Every structure is written in structure tokens, then in C-alpha cells.
Amino acid sequence: MADMFLDPIMEKLISAGFRYLKDQVRWQAGMKEELVKLQENLPQIQAVVHFASSQEQITDQNPSLNKWLWQLRDAIDDADDVVDELEYMELERQVTKNKKLRRARSIVKYMKKRLDKIVKRALKIDPTLKRLEEAVQKLHKVSTTGVDTFLHLVKHAKKELQKQQLELHGARETGSLPKNDLIGRGKDKELVMEWLRNPSNEQRGSDLYRNISLLCIVGHGGMGKTTLLQHVYKDQITKEFDLKMWVCVSNNFDVKKVIADMFEYLKNERPRLETLGALQRRLEEEVMSKKFLLVLDDIWEEDEENDKSKWEDVLAPLASGGFGSKILVTTRTDSVALMFAKVLKKKKEIVKLEGLEEDECLQLLNSHAFAGVENPSDDDHENLRVIARDIVKKLSRSPLAAKVIGGVLNDNLDERHWRTVLESNLLDQNSIHSILRLSYIVLPNHLRNCFAFCCMFPEDYRYDKDDLVRMWIALGFIQLSSNQRETMEDIGGRYYDVLVKKALFDKVKYGYKVGYFYKMHDLIHESASKFFTNECGKLVDGEKSSLEISETIRHLSVPTINLDILRMIGKFKHLHSLFLFYEDSNHDLCGLLSEIFKASRSLRLLYIFAYELEMIPEEIGNLIHLRYLNIDGDRLIMLPRSLSNLYHLQYIIYDGFAVQSNYDFLPSDFNNLSNLRYVKLAQKYISSICGIGKLKSLQELNMFSFGNVSGYKIEELENMNDLCKLGINCLQNVKDAEEACSAKLCEKRRLTDLTLSWIDTHWRNIDLDENVLDNLQPPNCLRNLSIWSYMGARSAIWMNNVNPILNLENIELTSCSKWETLPPFGQLPFLKSLRLRCMPKVKWLQSKYNGNDKYRTFPSLEVLEIYELDALVDWFEGGVAAEDGCFFPCLIELSIDDVPRLRELPNLSPSLKRLIIRRCHPKLHKRYREDGGSDRHKIAHIPHIVIDP
């Protein structure tokens, strides 16, 4: 059971309860007495709850204790709901107070609502007051009168399971492991490498797959199959292949998805094709006559004959590949390897991964246990290394177990801590699940909540760090710290990083380009899902386990279209998050959603995947606790009007476009949602929000098109001081410098990303553009700056002084056709990328040059892109020779395109990896061309060079 956030809930319950009762009639004195009594007993209740939250490891085998703890959890969640309702009412009062009732029917409706409330109070049936009273009494009863029972249960459980108690300390963050560390699999890797060097394992013959060889890596979960092939895949030898593909199949095998994944890996884009035949043809065209390497990772078997037929469909397009093509497969079973051999008509070739040798397992465990330790072989750690040898004997030679347990040991380099792990009964059980569950038990309570929720997602799910943190926040897993400069998103990001460092998530490189995603190892996912079965569950059609889901469930995933299964959702009374995956357009999903919204009123998070969904029912207004709403589809006509009454909403995500209307997609009073922190909608919908300045908690506002009418002027930004990312469009509508100043960008102390954009028009006032830009000075915490279509001839005043822009890391200036003299960008110490496009008046990159400053010019720049700079004649004003200094000591990529007057390159750093020169001065081409260029030797060290006339 995850930790119960009692402290803030109890304090809010008591204070909100007193506020609510403040104006009530005399007969509510009894309720006040209940609150006072609860307040007096608060320390005792807190002590019980905090102790209860630490007893995770003894509840599994003690149903009575577990039942009592869930009763306590239910009482706390009921109290949390009541507090939330009281806060909702306060938000509603603020909205009503600030909003004029414009129409008579609105007044009538409002008066009727008030009259109903007065009547109910007169009859002593105020529903809010009743819920408040029930929550207080239930919490008081279960946490005080039940304390004796609780202590008895704990004492009994401890007596039986004393050796199972783990008194481990909290996590200590240390340095991460070497990325290229492969321990204990050297021989296995060499076997695979030798196979890759072999042109073919059979005669070519006339078979369909005569050009392809197959090798299967077989071993049970946690043996390091994927890790082995990751090291093989990045080895130099694989560069001999024309094409490389890595596809993770897992147990949700789908033919079209696997083919689409191959295509996406090759082309970095998802094919917009639906039929199997069309997908097969596209893949066949891509691999035609090309020597490819394909890794099919983590293949499971469900139905041998059915799977064989499906794999024939997947592999058929690959038959067109060139001679020497290779397929590597990882699987847990020999039967999958045999099936693949049959499909390709090959002899079964496998590399069987067994457990590591004890010394190798010890080396792997120590590499994780002593991560971040400067000298792990010191005599100071001799005792720990002795304990580690004993621990390894209990790990069943499992690399994954060694890695995870090593992370647990790394939490505290203390002999007592390590002996506690060694003596734990969890390690005495010869089961990888028992070993892995130790890593969940010892997690601090705040991390355990976050990790437990991750079990909601399917195996091999690619976790998006930012979105996962938003979900944690919505579910109340993250509490603000005393550090007022740190946001909840910052705290959640740290939590995520700790889970990654604890090896509970793996970092996986993807595609040719530098890019990573995170996934949970399938063995960890399987183990954790069982461990947190009372927290997270799935309602799957045809699975018996769906009928056995505990009613304590807080997070539910429903990947089914079975209406009977979907209607079961209503029985889970404390449901906090719901994931609906619905792909059938033949049923009334809108009507079903109405039923769910009426029954599941405690929801904080709602994710709906339904491509055909056109309407969200107005009953969503019942979900007054909702914080996070994500609609994954592309057919919505509009968002419901009642959405604007969900005052607790923090996150709204919808990537699609409205099918019919562009202007009324959002509710007219969308700006009521003052707690919104993030909105992901199409730009035109965002720009349609009138009075967006009321959304003071918003952290991102991308390319809002400001106008010159009330509610859409740039002055709306004045009090939006939580913004981290901001894009301002249509700046030509700002009438004068004073109006620009009203945005108060300089006061937004969290702003890191800023885009300023004008719409290019023929009649523009150059002086006005310059004055507007002068008054849009950002804070000096800014990291990324983009400016589009600025028509001023000079830089802004604040740009000419390095201090206000000192922390900039990325700069992009585009279509600024009148701009002549650039700011001193070369003096920025942290600038990593500079992109200048369509700026025909610029003559030099750096106009200020004094003495030896050239040796410190662009000290950190890694990427420089120059496109359509017609007037650029030199790198520095004054004709400083290119040989006089190395202007770009860290440069990695340099791209010069359509710069007709530039005749020479500066001295280029040995770090440069990519040089592209196109459509430049003939002299430049002549000097650096491959066939006889006089200065070709100056760039000969660069691996990738493109020089076109």
C-alpha cells in the first residue's frame, strides 16, 4: 500500500471545516465539537498513520492488518474528497463573485440553486455538511478507536515476521554507472559478433529468404538478452550494414505495428497507412537489395500456429533485402526460436544465456553498489565487499537481480544496512520476484506512490517524463517543498531521475539520431504489477483476473470494448485514475461515458483513447476533483461547456483538431480554470481564449496570437508570472512601447523559453518594432530565444549588454530582413546553438572585437547554422584573419547555405564532426573542394563534409 498523505489532508479538513461552518446556524455546534476533538487527537492519528505506512513488508501475509490499513486509507481518501469539495466551493464562489450574471435565466438558475441549498440546510440535510460530518467521524473512528486493534495486529505480525523486517534508510543519490559497461557477457558477445562477420550460414539457393541469416538469443527474464544486443548493435561491425532496425515486440504482438515500427526506425516518421498490404509494400521498397540488420527484441509466444502465420506476414517484405542481411531475435523460449527458423526455412541457431558466474555477478553487483564511490577497493569497504559475496550467492546468478539489489545497497554504504539486506527472508526465497520486490519495499513513501502508479502502463511502454510527472501531480503524489523557487514539476522530475538511477527504469537509445526513451524492464514490470495489485489493475475482456480485482483499487486501465466490463467501473468507489482505450465506433461510447462520470466522482485523472469519439458528455462536470484530462483522438467537435466548471483542473491535453468549428471548440468561460498549469491544444484554440491572463498558474503558453481588442491584448501577460515557456505571436498588433512594457516579461523569474514573432506585412513601422522589442526584455534566466520576422534595423537595447542574456544556450533569428548589426553573441559563455536564417543585411557574426577576445569568442558553441545571409562578408568586423584564432573551440556542426559573399572559413576546431557548404562564393568552393582545393587540408579532419557550388 502506498503512503497515505495524512498531514496536509487532516489540516485542510479541520481548517476548511471550520471555515464552512462559520456562517452556519446554531444547530451545527455539534459538528464543531467533532472538529475540535479531531484536532486534539491529530498527533495520535498522525503517529498511527505514519507507522502504518511503513509496514508494507508485513501486510502481505497478514490479511487482518492489511484490511485495517485499507479501512484507514478509505477514511483518509473520503476526507480528502470532502476537503477538495470545500475548496471547490470556494473556487466556485470566487468565480461567481467576479462574474456578472448577464442574462435573466442565469439569475433564475442561480437563485433556484441558492434556494435549494437554503431549504436543505433548514431541513438539516445539507449534503456537503453531511459528507463533512461522515468523513470526520469515520476518520476519527478508524484511526483512534481502532488503534488498539491495529497495535495488536502489528505486534502479532512482527513476532511472526521479525526476520523479514527491513530497517533500511532513505535513498542517497550517487553518480550513475558507466554507459558502456558490459559485465559477464564477453564470450556471448564474441559469438554474436562472429556470426555477424559470417556472410551467410547456408547456401544461397533459391529460397525466398536466401539472403537472410537468423540468430536467436534465448534466456529467461533478467538474463541480459537485450543488454547484450544493445552492445552488439552499437559495435563498429554493424556499420557495414546499409540499414539497421531495432524493434521491441513484447507480448502485445501486432503485425501492422511491427512493420510500421521498422519503417519508422528507418525513416524517422510513422507511415500513414492502414492496410497490411500497403505497409508491406512500403517496407519492401525501403529494404530492396540493401543489406540490413534487424533486431526483434523480446518476442513472446501465445499461439504457435497463429503466431507463425503472423510472422510470415511481418517477414515477407524483408525477403527483398540484399545478401548478407541478418536478423537477431531475443526471446525467453526455445519454441519461439524454432518457430522463426521454420518461417525463414533455416536451421535453428541460438545463443543460450545462462546465469552469470559468481565472480561476474559479484562484479556487476559491486559496480552498482559502489556507484559514485571514488575508491571502492579501499580497505574502508572491505567488510562491505565480504557481505556482497554472501549476497551474490542468493541471487540465482541473475544479472537483473544483481543490478537492482546493487542499487538497494548503494542507498547506504553502511555495514548494518548491507547485513539487513543479506539476512532478509526475501533473498532466501529462490525467486526473482522475491528479490525484485525488495527494491519496491525500501523505496521512500513518496517514491513508492509514483512507482506504483507506473504499473498502470503496459509492458515496454515508453514513459514520457514530463507527462508522467503531470500525472503524479494530479494524483497528489507531489507536495511542494519549503524551497519556494522549486515547482512541483521540478520535484517530480527529481523523483523520476531517482527511479532511473535506482535501475527501475532503463534508458534506451532510439534511431540513428541522438534520442532516448525510458522503459521498465519487463521482469520488473511483471513483479511490480503483482506487488501493487491492490493499487493498480486492469479490466480485460476474457481474463479471470479482471473479476478478481480488489475494490481497494485506485488506478484502473480498461483496454476493452466489452460494455459489461466497462460497466464494472462504477463499483470501484475510490477510483482516482482511469485509462479508457476504446477503438470500436459501433457502440454508444458517449452514453457509456455519461454513466462512468456519474459513478466515478472521485477521479483525479482521466485518459481517454477513442479515435472515433466526437463528443465528451456534459456529465464530465460531475468530476469536480479532476486534475488531469487527456483525450487521445482526432474527431472531437468541441469540448463540453461544463468543462469550465472543473475549477481544480491542472492539465488539459488534446492534440487533434475540431471536425467542424474552429471558433467555439472551447467553452466561452474557459478562463474560469485558474488552476491550469499546462494546456496542450492546437494553437488556434489557445489563441481563442479571451482573458487568458486569468490563467495565472499556466506554465506554458505557446505562440498565443495577441490582438488589439480587450481580452486579447499583450497586457494579459502581466500577472502570468509562473510561465516557463512563452511564445508571443502577432506582435505587429502592439500599438506602442508602453503596451509592450505591460507584459512585464522581466518579472517572470521562471521563464526559460521565449519566442517573439511578428506577422510579415508590407507596411510596418520600423521604429515601432524596435521600441516594442526594447520593452520585451526577458529575465536573465532565459535559456532559449527565438525571434521571427522582426523588421527593426538594430538589436534591442537589452541585447547589446551581455548580462541580461548571459544564460542563453540557444538562439534562433529568422526572417529579420532589416536587422544589420548582431548583438555580441560571441561573448555568451553558455551559448550552444546559433541559427541565423533569412537576414540579408547582416555583414558580420561578431561586430565587437577587442584585442585577444577572439580566443574567447563563442566558447561553448556546438551548432552554427547560417542560411540566406546575403551580405555576410566575414566572421568579424574589421577583417580579422581566419587564422588569427579559433573562434569556435567546441563546434560540432557548421552549416553554411546560400551565403554568396563569404570567401573563407575560420580556423575550425578538431571537435567539428559535420560541415555543410552550399550555394556560396565560388572561391570558397574552390579552396575547400575535395579534388585539389588549396585549403582542403584544413578541414580534412572532419568526418562528414558536403561542399556544393
Q: Over the stretch 516-533, which tens digit does the pLDDT of each residue have? A: 788 887 778 888 888 888
CA distances from 398 to 456, 459, 531, 847 (A): 26, 20, 20, 62
pLDDT value, residue 167: 33
For the CA atoms of 662, 668, 673, 677, the dihedral, rounded to the nearest 10 degrees, stands at: 20
Q: What number is the average pLDDT over the span 655-668?
A: 72
pLDDT tens digits along 581-624: 887 655 678 888 998 999 999 999 999 988 888 889 999 999 99
| C-alpha span between 771 and 792 (Å, rounded) | 9
Whole-structure pTM over 0.95, yes or no?
no
pLDDT band at 745 (very low <50, low <70, confident <90, very high): very high
Which of 237-251, 350-364, 559-573, 804-818 shows the lowest mean pLDDT across its residues?
559-573
Q: Domains of the chain (ranges plus CATH)?
A: 1-104+111-154 (no CATH), 185-200+207-352 (3.40.50.300), 382-532 (no CATH), 535-541+550-650 (3.80.10.10), 690-808 (no CATH), 813-948 (no CATH)
| C-alpha span between 77 and 475 (Å, rounded) | 12
pLDDT tens digits along 863-879: 999 999 999 998 877 65
For residue 63, pLDDT beyond 80: no
The DSSP code for 523 is H
Q: What number is the average pLDDT over the span 807-830?
A: 94
For residue 42, pLDDT beyond 80: no
For residue 797, pLDDT beyond 90: yes
Are 902 and 920 a contacting pair, CB within 8 Å?
yes
| C-alpha span between 911 and 900 (Å, rounded) | 26
For residue 200, pLDDT beyond 70: no
Mean pLDDT over each residue of the chain, to the nearest integer = 80
pLDDT band at 659 (very low <50, low <70, confident <90, very high): low
C-alpha cell at 815: 526572417
pLDDT value, residue 179: 40
Q: What number is the average pLDDT over the span 395-421?
A: 84
For residue 5, pLDDT beyond 60: no
pLDDT band at 180 (very low <50, low <70, confident <90, very high): very low
Are 819 and 848 a contacting pair, CB within 8 Å?
no
pLDDT value, residue 27: 42
CA distances from 663 to 639, 660, 701 (A): 12, 9, 19
pLDDT band at 14 (very low <50, low <70, confident <90, very high): low
pLDDT band at 236 (very low <50, low <70, confident <90, very high): confident
pLDDT value, residue 874: 86
pLDDT value, residue 244: 92
**Contact partners, residue 725, CB within 8 Å, separation at least 6:** 699, 700, 701, 702, 751, 752, 753, 754
Which of 22-26, 86-90, 473-477, 643-647 shows the lowest mean pLDDT across its residues?
22-26
Residue 198 or residue 138, greater confidence: 198
For residue 501, pLDDT beyond 70: yes
pLDDT band at 883 (very low <50, low <70, confident <90, very high): very low
For residue 787, pLDDT beyond 90: yes
Q: What number is the average pLDDT over the span 710-718?
A: 94
| C-alpha span between 576 and 68 (Å, rounded) | 20
Residue 545 or residue 836, greater confidence: 836
Of 829, 831, 824, residue with least CA distance to 848: 824
Q: What number is the average pLDDT over the span 529-550?
A: 76
- The most confident of the ranges 262-271, 332-341, 827-836, 909-918 is 827-836
Strands (E) across 744-860 are located at 753-757, 784-788, 810-814, 833-837, 844-846
Exposed e or buried b for every residue in 614-625, given b needs 16+ CB within 10 A? Answer: bebbebbbbbbb
| C-alpha span between 298 and 646 (Å, rounded) | 43
pLDDT value, residue 561: 74
pLDDT band at 508 (very low <50, low <70, confident <90, very high): confident
Residue 133 or residue 81, greater confidence: 81
For residue 189, pLDDT beyond 80: yes
Question: What percentage of the chain reaches a pLDDT higher than 90?
Answer: 37
Residue 931 or residue 281, greater confidence: 281
For residue 399, pLDDT beyond 80: yes
Using CB atoms within 10 Å of the CB of residue 555, give its burial: 0 to 12 exposed, 13 to 18 middle, 19+ buried.
buried
Residue 316: strand pairing partners:
none
For residue 47, pLDDT beyond 80: no
For residue 573, pLDDT beyond 90: no
pLDDT band at 78 (very low <50, low <70, confident <90, very high): confident
CA 541, chain centre distance (Å): 29
For residue 22, pLDDT beyond 90: no
Q: What number is the average pLDDT over the span 506-512?
A: 66
Residue 311 or residue 104, greater confidence: 311
For residue 25, pLDDT beyond 60: no
Which of 98-107, 162-171, 247-256 shows the lowest mean pLDDT across its residues?
162-171
- The most confident of the ranges 330-344, 372-386, 436-450 is 330-344
| C-alpha span between 947 and 949 (Å, rounded) | 7
For residue 144, pLDDT beyond 80: no
For residue 881, pLDDT beyond 50: no
| C-alpha span between 278 and 426 (Å, rounded) | 52
CB pairs under 8 A, 24+ apart, for 762-768? 764/732, 764/791, 766/791, 766/792, 766/793, 766/818, 768/734, 768/736, 768/737
pLDDT value, residue 43: 63
Count of C-beta atoms within a 10 Å radius of residue 84: 20
Question: What percentage of the chain reaches a pLDDT higher than 70?
Answer: 75
For residue 721, pLDDT beyond 90: yes
Which of 160-164, 182-186, 377-381, 814-818 shows the lowest mean pLDDT across its residues?
160-164
C-alpha cell at 388: 556482497
pLDDT value, residue 475: 94
| C-alpha span between 317 and 402 (Å, rounded) | 40
